[in-house]
């Protein structure tokens, strides 16, 4: 035991050395000052509202899983064969095993990563010690996804706290994800979509933590576990693994690039190797197993087709069955609505992203699908507006600079007649200034104007937080480096911005700084994060589109679901941008009420009026329930119809 203890301590010291030379906080004995029970009680007290939310979400997901009939999810019967095999035999099946192979298609889900099915199979063995009820065993297999759903929403809560400063927009972001019917549906039947969603949330959370803590051990370990879960899920979530590499390497270059190439490369290699080793230990076994079973095809890209060619019915063999492309249908025709002679891939995919249950048996009302269109449109407009204003600010600055340099400064409005030195000084920071958080776009904050009185006069001081954590000198205040102070007669444009803030609105063309609440980011890291979000939205859409066109026509929104966190982030952040730009602060909460009700209406319309009555016969009377305001059959709409002729 002494030799083992010394070996473990030696390896711990080596791991500590990965972060020690860069000055990151090291694990210390201070953790031992409190007992584990005391730490758990403190954590529970500080997260009591979050834990209550997770408890409610877990209960609701378990209830849905309980009432959902067997094979109530796409291909659940075919997927459930794998946990059943593990339950009976205690081993993992090969993809071509006849016990799990589908007679029609000649393939099985055993060719793809089966991590949730493994846990489900062994949980079935545990439940089987007490009962052999078919429903109890099915619930054991489904319970794995219920737990993944609770874990997903835990990370959603953490992401919301990191991405949004105002509570109302945190609530909106969480509501968009917690009340999306199709998203909840994926956590209540046997599938691997649940672990793909869980992995995407975990990775995004540790992206943000890594940027906040300069990729500490905690963030590197969490990212490694998230990437390993992603590797053992659906391939349409692999964009997160790819851009984990991009964000990790790119952000460390920004963090340590100024210390020299040698130091920067050493940091990237040490921490990168640590993450890679963890990922290989957690997920590498699956790909080694596939390489052994399927003649080196470790990604199982061709093994399912070979199996289908041998065992599928004649009309479903890959050599016989034609894809949309092979049928001579154009991509544009596949995307067009059916009323225009197309295959309406776009419409069906969108609807099954919001909520389209079973084997496309239970759609929602057409008016319900329109609600999220409007919410997404508002988020898109807010995003584009922010980008446009960002470029307009720099265009304005360029024009002002050119006019000053050419001696035509007299053409400028009085609010912009300020020397370039004073203008650049006004963008500075002081080491004692207060942190700004006046305006942001999902984390993009603008400059803050703070007032301080001196004698009988009032001076305005503008400060902006530095990504590195320091502050530059503000006008009227000397910096620690001996910076000069601005003249009292400098630009009144900041005064105009101050007046707008006094009214509760944000100045339109104030200079934005790129950061997120609680995290000070270099602009390059912020842009890298946004770019990663955008790419992780595009990749699942492209993969699903290409698969439907070149292989098997499957316009299913569940294939797109890994993009849901970035999509809802831009939706909530764009909405926040519009609200903070055009409306006073006290009015924003009022305006958010109809948006939150719209999200709630979709949730209630999907589950109370459609799913629960269809899945539970004793509650079938709920199918007649309708909700007011947004529904065409709501009381408010009926009242309005009385005043509309015809």
- Angle at which helices 167-178 and 585-606 pack, to 10 degrees? 10
Residue 590 sits in the same domain as residue 515: no
Residues 503 and 594 in one domain: no
Say whether pLDDT at 585 is over 80.
yes
Position with higher pLDDT, 540 vs 474: 540
Task: At 91, list the tokens.
Answer: 């081993």
pLDDT band (50, 70, 90) for residue 469: very low
* 23 pLDDT more than 70: no
Higher per-residue pLDDT: 138 or 476: 138
CA-nearest of 63, 102, 45, 109 to 82 is 109
Higher pLDDT, 475 or 413: 413
Which of 145, 176, 191 is at the close of a domain? 191
Q: What is the pLDDT of residues 110-125, one digit of tens each?
A: 999 999 999 999 999 9
The pLDDT of residue 38: 75
Q: Is the pLDDT of residue 478 over 50?
A: no
Distance of alpha carbon 153 from alpha carbon 53, whole angstroms: 9
396 plus 498 within the same structural domain: yes
CB of 181 closer than 8 Å to CB of 355: yes
Rounded to 5 degrees, what are φ and ψ at 88? -80, -40
SS (H, E, C) 551-598: CCCCCCHHHHHHHHHHHHHHHHHHHHHHHHHHCCHHHHHHHHHHHHHH
d(CA 462, CA 145): 50
pLDDT at position 47: 81
630 and 515: one domain? no
Residue 414 has pLDDT above 80, yes or no: no
Choosing from 155, 176, 191, the residue where a domain stops is 191
How far the first Cα of the chain sits from its last, in Å, is: 88
623 domain-assigned = yes
Q: Per residue in 95-108, pLDDT tens? A: 999 999 999 999 99
Residue of 222, 198, 208, 203 whose CA lies nearest to 275: 222
**H runs (alpha helix) in 583-646:** 585-606, 612-615, 635-641
State whether 520 and 394 are in the same domain: yes
Record the tokens describing residue 646, joined without a space. Answer: 């015809």
Tokens of 644: 């509309």
Distance CA 155, CA 180 (A): 16
User: Under a CB-based contact definition with an 8 Å cutoff, are residues 543 and 236 in contact?
Assistant: yes
**Over pLDDT 70: what percentage of the chain?**
76
Confidence of residue 463 (pLDDT cuts 50, 70, 90): very low
Exposed/middle/buried for 148, CB within 10 Å: 0-12, 13-18, 19+?
buried
Q: Which residues of 20-47 are buried (b: 16+ CB within 10 A; e: fewer)?
A: eebebeeeeeeeeeeeeeeeeeeeeeee
Query: What does the alpha-carbon distance between residue 191 and residue 141 come to, in Å, rounded to a whole number?
Result: 10
User: For residue 80, is it within any domain?
Assistant: yes
Per-residue model confidence (pLDDT) at position 413:
73
Region 524-537 average pLDDT: 94
Q: pLDDT at residue 203 above 60?
A: yes
d(C-alpha 399, C-alpha 403), whole Å: 6
Cα–Cα dist 188/82, whole Å? 17
pLDDT at site 13:
64
Residue 323 in any domain: the answer is no
Residue 537 lies in a domain: no
| Total number of domains in the chain | 3
pLDDT, one tens digit per residue, over 211-254 is 999 999 999 999 999 999 999 998 899 999 999 999 999 999 99
pLDDT of the residue at 157: 96
Supply the mean pLDDT for the chain: 81
Question: Do the domain assignments include residue 184?
Answer: yes
- In this prediction, residue 427 carries a pLDDT of 42
> Does the pLDDT of residue 387 top 90, yes or no?
no
- Asked if residue 346 belongs to a domain, the reply is no
Q: Does residue 645 have a pLDDT over 60?
A: no
How far apart are the C-alpha atoms of 646 and 636, rounded to whole Å? 17
Question: Is pLDDT of 467 > 80?
Answer: no
Same domain, 512 and 628: no
Please give the pLDDT value at position 638.
56
Residue 557 has pLDDT above 50, yes or no: yes
| Domain assignment of residue 405, yes or no | yes
Distance (Å, rounded) from C-alpha 182 to C-alpha 567? 15
- Asked whether residue 142 is assigned to any structural domain, the reply reads yes
Give me the half-sphere count of Cα atoms (radius 13 Å) on the Cβ side of residue 33: 4
Residue ending a domain, among 191, 226, 248, is 191
Sequential DSSP letters for 411-448: GS-GGG---HHHHHHHT---TTPPPP-S--SSSEEE-E
Contact 188/142 with Cβ under 8 angstroms? yes
- pLDDT, position 519: 75
Q: Which residues face 151 on adjacent strands?
A: none
Strand ranges in 51-145 using DSSP code E only, listed in sequence order: none
How many other CB atoms are there within 10 angstroms of residue 520's CB atom? 18
Q: Using only C-alpha atoms, what is the Rg of the chain?
A: 28
Residue 270 pLDDT more than 90?
A: yes
Residue 477, token pair as written in the block: 């205040």
The domain containing residue 156 runs over which residues? Answer: 66-191
For strands 448-454 and 444-446, give the pairing: unpaired
Co-location of 422 and 519 in the same domain = yes
- The pLDDT assigned to 425 comes to 46
Tell me how far apart the alpha carbons of residues 182 and 637 are, in angstroms, rounded to a whole number: 26
Cα–Cα distances in Å, from 632 out to 364, 367, 602, 626, 627? 13, 7, 13, 9, 9
pLDDT in tens, 165-190: 899 999 999 999 999 999 999 999 99
Are 517 and 591 part of one and the same domain? Answer: no
Contact 192, 250 (CB under 8 A): no
- Tell me if 207 sits within 8 A of 532, measured CB to CB: yes
Residue 8 pLDDT: 61
Lowest pLDDT segment from 232-236, 255-259, 470-474: 470-474
Reported as a single tens digit per residue, the pLDDT across 416-454 is: 665 444 444 444 443 333 333 334 555 444 333 333 333
Give the pLDDT band (50/70/90) at residue 635: low
Which pLDDT score is estimated for 473? 39
């Amino acid at each position: 035991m002494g030799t083992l203890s010394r070996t473990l301590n030696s390896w711990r010291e080596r791991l500590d050395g990965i972060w020690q030379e860069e000055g990151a906080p090291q694990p210390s004995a201070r953790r031992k000052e409190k007992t584990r029970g005391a730490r758990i009680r403190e954590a529970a007290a500080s997260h009591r509202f979050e834990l209550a939310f997770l408890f409610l979400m877990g209960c609701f997901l378990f209830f849905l899983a309980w009432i959902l009939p067997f094979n109530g999810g796409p291909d659940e019967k075919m997927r459930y064969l794998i946990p059943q095999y593990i339950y009976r035999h205690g081993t993992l099946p090969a993809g071509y095993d006849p016990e799990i192979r589908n007679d029609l298609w000649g393939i099985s889900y055993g060719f793809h990563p089966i991590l949730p099915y493994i846990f489900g199979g062994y949980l079935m063995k545990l439940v089987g010690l007490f009962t052999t009820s078919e429903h109890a065993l099915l619930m054991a297999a489904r319970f794995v996804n219920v737990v993944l759903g609770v874990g997903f929403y835990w990370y959603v809560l953490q992401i919301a706290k990191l991405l949004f400063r105002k509570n109302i927009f945190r609530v909106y972001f969480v509501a968009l994800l917690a009340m999306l019917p199709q998203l909840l549906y994926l956590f209540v039947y046997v599938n691997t979509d649940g672990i793909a969603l869980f992995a995407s949330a975990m990775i995004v959370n540790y992206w943000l933590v890594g940027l906040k803590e300069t990729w500490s051990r905690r963030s590197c370990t969490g990212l490694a576990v998230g990437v390993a879960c992603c590797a053992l899920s659906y391939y349409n979530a692999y964009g997160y693994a790819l851009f984990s590499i991009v964000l990790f390497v790119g952000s460390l270059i920004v963090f340590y690039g100024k210390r020299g190439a040698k130091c920067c490369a050493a940091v990237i290699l040490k921490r990168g190797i640590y993450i890679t080793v963890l990922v290989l230990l957690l997920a590498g076994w699956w790909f080694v197993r596939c390489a052994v079973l399927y003649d080196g095809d470790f990604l199982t890209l061709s093994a399912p087709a070979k199996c289908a060619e041998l065992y599928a019915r004649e009309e479903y063999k890959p050599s016989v069955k034609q894809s949309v492309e092979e049928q001579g249908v154009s991509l544009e025709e596949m995307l067009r609505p059916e009323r225009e002679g197309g295959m309406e891939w776009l419409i069906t995919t969108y609807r099954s992203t919001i909520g389209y249950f079973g084997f496309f048996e239970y759609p929602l009302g057409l008016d319900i699908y329109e609600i999220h269109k409007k919410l997404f449109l508002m988020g898109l407009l807010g995003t584009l507006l922010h980008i446009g204003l960002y470029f307009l600010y720099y265009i304005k600055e360029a024009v002002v600079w050119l006019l000053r340099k050419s001696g035509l400064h007299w053409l400028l409005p009085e609010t912009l007649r300020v020397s370039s030195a004073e203008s650049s000084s006004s963008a500075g920071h002081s080491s004692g200034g207060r942190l700004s958080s006046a305006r942001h776009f999902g984390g993009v904050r603008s400059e803050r104007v703070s007032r301080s009185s001196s004698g009988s006069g009032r001076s305005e001081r503008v400060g902006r937080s530095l990504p590195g954590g320091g502050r530059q000198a503000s006008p009227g205040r000397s910096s620690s480096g001996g910076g000069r102070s601005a003249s009292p007669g400098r630009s009144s444009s900041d005064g105009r911005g101050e007046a707008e803030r006094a009214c509760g609105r944000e100045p339109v063309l104030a200079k934005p700084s790129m950061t997120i609440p609680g995290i000070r980011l270099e602009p390059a890291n912020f842009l890298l994060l946004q770019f990663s979000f955008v790419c992780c939205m595009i990749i699942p859409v492209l993969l699903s589109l290409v698969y439907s066109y070149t292989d098997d026509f499957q316009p299913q929104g569940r294939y797109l679901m890994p993009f849901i966190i970035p999509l809802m982030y831009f939706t909530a952040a764009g909405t926040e941008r519009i609200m903070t730009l055009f409306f006073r602060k006290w009015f924003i909460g009022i305006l958010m009420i109809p948006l939150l009700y719209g999200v709630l209406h979709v949730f209630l319309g999907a589950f109370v009026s459609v799913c629960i009555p269809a899945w539970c016969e004793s509650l079938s009377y709920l199918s007649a329930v309708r909700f007011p305001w947004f529904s065409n059959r709501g009381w408010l709409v009926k009242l309005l119809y009385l005043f509309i002729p015809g």
